[in-house]
Amino acid sequence: MLFQRIITSLFARPAPPSFMPDLPGDETMVLAGEMQACLNRSGGTLATMRRTNALAGLFTGLSADGKLRYIDVLNSLNAAGGKAATDRYSDIEEAELFGRSSSKLAMLDAFETPVRRMLAALNGTTNGPALIAEIRELADDELADQMNSL
């Protein structure tokens, strides 16, 4: 019994946050946190893939107003700046010393904006090309410019 509870708790996946179709104000903060966790690869590769697929699926289920708020949150990622500069420097330094693959990815991340990285991650999902096309239609010129090379 105890062993079963321990094993179950180790392998249990946390439930993804649920969102309303209009993305009210408090949910945009949760969405921004989920996008940031995706950019930071929190929880590892598998968790990041699941989170990215959930974010892509979320967009398709939103109302017109919700989609515009989603795009606003996406646009705000550059202002948030992803990780702090000291954390990014620490990751780059770790890559040089230890050569871990996650640290090497951190080095590559330093050369791309958070919005561009999030768009590339969304493009890699099952409905990515259609999602990117829809975001491109609704996006402002600045965001659309970042999407040109996807």
23: left (phi over 0), alpha (psi -120 to 50) or beta: left
Is 19 inside a domain boundary?
no
For residue 67, the model assigns a pLDDT of: 94
Give the CATH number for residue 128: 1.20.140
Q: The pTM is what?
A: 0.75
Q: Is the pLDDT of residue 73 over 50?
A: yes
**Is residue 11 in a domain?**
no
pLDDT digits (tens, 9 = 90+) for 93-131: 665 666 555 555 655 666 678 898 899 999 999 999 999
In a domain, 73, yes or no: yes
Q: How far is residue 134's CA from residue 60's CA, in Å, rounded to a whole number?
A: 9
How many domains are contained in the chain? 1
Asked if residue 33 is part of any domain, the answer here is yes
Residue 85, domain extent: 26-147
Assigned domain for 1 exists: no
Most confident of 20-24, 28-32, 79-83: 28-32
pLDDT digits (tens, 9 = 90+) for 49-67: 999 999 999 999 999 999 9
In a domain, 18, yes or no: no
What phi and psi values does residue 6 have, to the nearest 5 degrees? -65, -45
Within-domain flag for 123: yes
